A and B are shown apart, each in its own frame.
Chain A
Amino acid sequence: MAQSHDGPMATPLADRHAALGARMVEFGGWLMPLQYSGILEEHRAVRTRAGAFDLSHMGELFVEGPGAAPALAYALTTDPAKIKVGRAHYSMICFPEGGVLDDLIVYRLGEERFMVVANAANAGAVSDALAARFGGFGAVLDDRSLAMGLVALQGPRSAAILARLTDVALDGLRYYAIAEGHAAGVPALVARTGYTGEDGFEVFVDVEAAATVWDALLETGKAEGLLPVGLGARDTLRLEAGMPLYGNELGPDTTPFEAGLGRVVDLEREGDFVGRAALEKALADGPRRRLVGLTVRGRGIARHGYEVFAGDRRIGAVTSGTLSPTLGEPIAMAYVAPSEAEPGTIVAVGIRDQRVPAEVVQLPFYRRPA
């Protein structure tokens, strides 16, 4: 792990990316591959075959101790005590005022042992917030973000590829489940999770072993058409799948309700959690705006920051947008006034000097074939 004082950090796979000719970009404080062969080709590989992703920039925060579950329940919007050992759930950590500090996946590794996976740019802030919120619970936080590497394998051929490299029984590993075992001969946590809308896995290993796993995946996957995939296609894949990106759809000024993710705010349970009072009020007041999917019906691509109109009235802004490689049409997510958020509503997106019609559609844009 190379960490310089003035530049972004390098992942343990930096030399692999260089050898593959990747175009690199700074993201969340890390130097990451943006693309290898091209965003469209990489995107299609994941939708039809398989792709390998270096996600070593993500934060891995381990929480242990008799108070681990209640400590997390106080710190997060969900109640991790409800997760069965070997399973995971999507969660959020909110500010006391109700805004989103980060979105997370919480894995339960044991009765008293959890792994919280945070976005790279927020990992430090999440770690600090957890430490501050854990006082008196009997829970120990171990921030292993720099000690762990993470390689994701996504796409319909993922299980066939990984089965040749792991002793984890993948048939028994359900969506949002995790198991300890080996991958490419090294100790690994293998989870059936991802950010693409496809079947796939995330393989957590010690940072020194990340290259071993990466090399094995690329070698074994070659015959199945696996490609290395960068952040460019990761973004188009998650957008088609209707998944939010922190910094675009989520942030300190958004509540989980506005983002359509009220299901991760567990208000049924007893006991306080950080942000509870503010979130209860936000729910009672109703959202000021709602996150919607848009399909652009004219010429042009809606991009982050473009304004959304109903007639002459500005009703919101685009948070993410691209030309969908799978659908071949421009898609976007946007926050709009609740009155304009029903699917079928026709709005307009300001694209340069034009107002281009767009239709509010149900998310996700893409659902994998059953």
Chain B
Amino acid sequence: MVPGDLRYTKEHEWVRTEGDLATVGITDYAAEQLGDIVFVELPEVGRTVTQFAPIGVIESVKAVSDLFAPLGGEVVETNAELATAPELLNSEAFGGGWILRIRMADPTQIDGLLDAAAYDALISEA
């Protein structure tokens, strides 16, 4: 089971909200599918992002995959630790492996994301 207090996308991002701030990462399912993650390319702080647009890149030894913005808004912080420790995405997907924080432009976008039960159903079909 994935954490029940988060929201999810079909692209395997997770979102934790506090007020109008949303913390974003990728799920441990996504991290495991990618394999050992060795490089993360993040958007610049201050950039405005559109919901579901590609905003970064996650590379494992084998594969390159896009990171999508689960919500629209302004990037207010990125996880600096990932520059030297990208493996946090594998080892602490829902914790120390958080990727960035977005100040949401439209908090109602949250309601369109998957809840934990729906995301669990998605990955158990895969």
Contact = CB atoms under 8 A, between A and B. Distances in A.
Given A299-B41, A303-B64, A232 B35 contact: yes
Q: Is the interface of B mostly helix, strand, loop or mixed?
A: strand
Interface residues of A, number: 18
Contact of A325 (B59, B61, B64): B61
A11 interface: no
Nearest to B59: A301
A300 B36 contact: no
A34 interface: yes
A39 B39 contact: no
A35 B35 contact: yes
A163 interface: no
B38 interface: yes
Interface in A322-339: 322-323, 325, 330
A301 B57 CA distance: 11
B39 A323 contact: yes
Contacts of B36: 38-41
B61 A232 contact: yes
A236 interface: yes
Given A38-B36, A301-B38, A323 B62 contact: no
A159 to B, nearest CB: 28
Contacts of A301: 38-39, 59, 64
A352 B57 contact: yes
Interface string B43-80: 00000000000000101111010000000000000000
Given A39-B35, A40-B36, A232 B41 contact: no
B57 A39 contact: no
Given A39-B36, A40-B36, A300-B41, A236 B57 contact: no
Interface string A129-157: 00000000000000000000000000000
Contacts of B59: 301, 323
Contacts of A35: 35
Interface in B27-45: 35-36, 38-39, 41
A98 B117 CA distance: 59
Contacts of B61: 39-40, 232, 236, 322-323, 325
A41 B39 CA distance: 17
A322 B64 CA distance: 11
A318 to B, nearest CB: 13
Nearest to A23: B35
Contacts of B41: 299-300, 352
Nearest to B36: A40
Interface string A231-256: 01001100000000000000000000
Contacts of B35: 35, 38-39, 232
Interface of B: 35-36, 38-39, 41, 57, 59-62, 64
Given A301-B64, A323-B38, 4 more contacts: A38-B35, A299-B39, A301-B39, A325-B61
Interface pairs A-B: 10 shortest CB-CB: A323-B38, A40-B36, A39-B61, A38-B36, A39-B36, A301-B59, A232-B62, A301-B39, A39-B35, A322-B61
